[in-house]
Each structure stands twice: as structure tokens, then as C-alpha cells.
Structure 1
Amino acid sequence: MTTETARAARPNTLAFCTDAELGYRRSLTDFSEPLALDESYRLAHLPLVAPDHPRVIPRREGKPYEMGRHPRIFSLVLPVDDTDLQASPAFRELEAALKISPFAGKIAWNVLPRRRDKLHATICGSLGTDNAPAIAPEVRHGLAQIGPVTVELRGLFSGNVNRGRLYLAVYPERRGETNPLQAIQAAFGRPPSDLWLVGLYNLTDDLDATETAALAALVRRWWNVPLLRFTARELWLLGADDDLVFDSEVAERLPLGG
């Protein structure tokens, strides 16, 4: 990956999109009752991290999943360098807090090494199935015009879909009134979205009331804490046979800028 990690103070003129512009608050888990793994998670994620769990959904009519696996799907993603993330003192503090939390035993720690070289946030999902799609010259030109994109990762985040997966939230830089991640989506002919998530941790079971309260407290504590700031100079066309990208390939690296 080619990234320029911000290790020194950035210019004061650099601003990031705020929660008022993004969808993280709207999409947050409702912590008012114990967290139960939802159907989408039990279909796509739980079979990969706890295949013997009694609530695994092995398959469902009309869905492509078979014990968490599906035909290879190619998506455009923003890569995240795990080495840079692990070097962040704030991230290490967050992970240490997770490891002593009441629900630490329900996190699938064993899968983290399998995903370290494929950490990402999806920008445009499902661009092609089975074979990598051809990227049109005008799309490449659009990416060159957008140029490198600086983002901050903050977290912890737990959403109202795929309940059971814990993420870091991506806050892109603001360029005037423009969100460059939405500009990338427009270059691919996709409607704008307003949240981009780096999936990191997976739960292996429902949480009880005490565990849910502990997770909610961690989400509140880390909501606006910058964990890593970096400038992405390329995107990946990533093909994967499962939602945790255990079986995956980087089909192409697409430069941002000339």
C-alpha cells in the first residue's frame, strides 16, 4: 500500500467531515437492551468466526451465502495499513480496553492475523462478480482529478446492521463543500453514501446486559478520538469470497492523482 501517514501536525486548514454531515450517529446500535447478533451477521459473519454456534444461519433462499462464503465479489475499497494502525498509541489503548472488557472472551481475536493485510473501508461495493470489472478510462481520469485523500479513523463503532461486528469509522477530509469519498463514488456512477467503516472485531455470541453496557461505554468514550490519520494515494479493487475477506485478492491498485 502507498500511504503517507501523518506523524506530524497537519496544517490548521485541514478539516474533516463532521457527524452532522455523516451517518454514524443515525446508524449506531441501540444499546437500550442486550445486544443480540442480527440475522445478517449470523448469515455472513458468524459462520466464519464461530461455525458451531447454534444460531448460525448456514444458508438462506435468495442469498448467495453458504456458511459465510459466496461467489467472488469485487469492490472498490480504501486500504488501511495495519502496521500504521498498530503503531498508534491511541489505537493500542483502545485495544487494551477491549481486552479487559467484560465481553473480551466473546471477541474472535484469533481471526485478526488473517485480516491484517486486507484492512479496508468499502467505498463502492459489488462492482462485479466472479471476474474483476474493467475500469473505464474516464473513471481513471476522475480518480486522477480527485487526487490523494486524507482521512481520520475514529472509533469504536457498532452499527444497527451486522450487529456483532465492531468497526473504526472513517472521517474524510472536507474540500470546501466537497467530500472526496463521495466524489469517488460519483466517478463510479454510484450514489453518495455517508459512512465508511473499517471492520476489525467480530463477536462470537450475543452480549448480556452488563456486556452491552460496557460496549456502549467504550463506544461513547472513543467516539471522536482520532486513532490514525493518513493520506491514501491509491484504492484497491478487492475481490473476496467472504465478508471478512479471508479468501481475497487485490485485483488492481488504482492511483489517486497522477
Structure 2
Amino acid sequence: MKKIRTLIVDDEPLAREGVAAMLEGDHEIEVTGTCADGQAALAAIRSGRPDLVFLDVQMPKLNGLEVLSALRQEERPVVIFVTAYDKFAIQAFELCAVDYLLKPYRDARFAAALAKAKRQIAQARSDDMGQKVEQLLGYVQQMVRAGEKPTAVLVPEPGDRVVLKAGSDLHFIRTSDIIWVESQADFIKVHTTGAARLVRETLQNLQDRVDPARFLRIHRSSLVNLDHVKKVTPALYGDYTVLMSDDTKLRLSRKNRGKLKQLIASLSANDNG
């Protein structure tokens, strides 16, 4: 597990030692350095790019608020402000501090602030990983559809899986395991041969990431994997019922006759193959 690179900034030596002592023994934390003033802290953050900074507010040269204000958004680490003056609290949170420790603080309060920072860092890493994986898979799928050979690709079967982000977790799902997908407000529910997963994503976005030869949008709220369609039967008022391999019955309205023809053609091709 990648450790959380941590910088301690305080003009009081005992305060720096105190924070370091409380972090000692935490196997998730790596203290990469300490600074005694704001100017040194600004340089250390820009050069070392720590994940977490315990930042005192009242310091010589630059105070903690000025340090954070001087950093660009992409340069800012997760910050826990530490100070004896609670009047800075509102401004600290406006500058995206994850928490605020008022000296003197108890061990339990320190632990709570640290746990909160760890959660935020884990979420940020997960988001970053998810974005990189999505870019990679999107690149692979574009190359495959264009008939080109992807270069330096680490995915064993290009286009054969999608990444679904549920909370802070990333789920790598083979498209062949997806039975059907339904839209639910701002979410989609992906029904697979294993568990169903609720994902904050649009149905159109997922449709754009799967093979159009294998997946068909039979309704504005339903996307089906053609390999998992068992049969299509007429229903009332000219509609049709599509029976999936998990025995779910989906509706295909008569106004989607073009989709019906496409569905029947695809199923016939699969049977002949």
C-alpha cells in the first residue's frame, strides 16, 4: 500500500515533535520532513508534493493561510490546520482544509482529524486511478473500433471489460458478464452474472463504452447484452417482451420497431454462428 507522504509545519519545535510522535507507529504514514516557517513550507510542498500537511497558522515569513493561498489548486495537498487561535477556523475551511486542530488538542481529536484526512486522500487516489483507467480503456476501444493496433496497452483483452466506480471502489467487469443495465435517476444499475452494482453514471455514457455490436438500447432506460437475450415475445398493444438470461422481462415498445428488427437480426446471427 502506498504510504501517505506527510509534512509537518510549525514554528515551535515542541509542536513539530509532538505531531511527529503521534504519527509514529502509523504504518500508513511516512513523515517526509518538517518546516519551521511558511516560506520553507511553501518550497517543501512544491518540491516534495506531500499528500498531507499539518500546517500551523501563526508562523514567521508566511502564515499557514498565506502558504495555502499561494499554491495553485493542483498543488494543494490535504491540509490539517493546527493553531491556538480558533478565529482562523472559517478562513481555513474556505481554503479547503480537511480539518482544524485547536491547541491544545486531545489524542482522540487528533486521531479523528487524521482518519478524516486518510479518507479524503484515499478517495482522491481512487478518483485519479479511475480516471486513468477510463482513459486507457477508452483509448483501447477507439483503436479497436478504428481497426488499429493499440500500443503499450496493459489490458489483456482490449474492450472486453469496463470499470465501474461504486463509492471509493473500482470494479473491473467483463462485458460478457453484463446481462442488462437500467437507468435510475442519476444512477445506473448494472445487472451481471454475479452481483448487481449501482453506479453514479448515465446510461448513455456506459453505452458509449461497450461494443455496439453486442449491446442494444431497447428502451430509454434499458440497455441489454444481446448474448443474454433468451427470447422476444409479443405483448399487448403491439409491444414486445424481452426475456433476459436472469429471467428479467423488459419492455420493447412498438415505436421501437427498428430496434426490434436489429435485435432479431442480431439474435439470428448469433444462432447461425
**Please, what TM-score do these two structures have when normalized by structure 2?**
0.21
Greater per-residue helix proportion: 2
Which has the greater radius of gyration?
2
Higher relative contact order (CA closer than 8 Å, sequence separation 6+): 1
